[in-house]
Copies of this chain bind each other. A is one copy, B any other.
Amino acid sequence: MNYKLTLSYDGTRYKGWQRQGNTDNTIQSKIESTLGRITGENIEISGCGRTDAGVHALCQVCSFHSDTEYSCSELLRLLREYLPEDIGAVSLEQAPPRFHARLSCKSKTYMYRIVTGDAPCVFERKYVYRFDGAPDIEAMREAAGYLVGRHDFMAFCSLKSSKKSTVRTLECIEIRENKDRIEILLTGDGFLYNMVRIIVGTLLEVGEGKRKPRELMDILESRDRMLAGFTAPPQGLFLYKITY
8 Å CB contact of A88 from B10, B89, B120: B120
Name which residue of chain B comes closest to A56, CB basis.
Answer: B123
Binary contact readout A84-126 vs B (1 if CB under 8 angstroms, 0 otherwise): 0111111000000000000000000000000000111111010
Name which residue of chain B comes closest to A124, CB basis.
Answer: B123
Nearest Cβ distance between residue A46 and chain B, in whole angstroms?
A: 21
Each complex incorporates copies of this chain amounting to: 2
A156 part of interface (Cβ distance < 8 Å): no
Residues of B within 8 A of A8 (CB): 120, 122-123
Cα(A122)–Cα(B10), bound, Å: 6
A64 part of interface (Cβ distance < 8 Å): no
The secondary structure that dominates the A interface is: loop
Are B118 and A77 in contact, CB atoms less than 8 angstroms apart?
yes
Are A123 and B118 in contact, CB atoms less than 8 angstroms apart?
no
Are A80 and B120 in contact, CB atoms less than 8 angstroms apart?
yes
Nearest Cβ distance between residue A73 and chain B, in whole angstroms?
A: 11
Cα(A211)–Cα(B57), bound, Å: 41
Residues of B within 8 A of A120 (CB): 8, 80, 87-90
Residues of B within 8 A of A87 (CB): 120, 122
**A binding-site residues for B, Cβ under 8 Å:** 8-10, 56, 77, 80, 85-90, 118-123, 125, 127
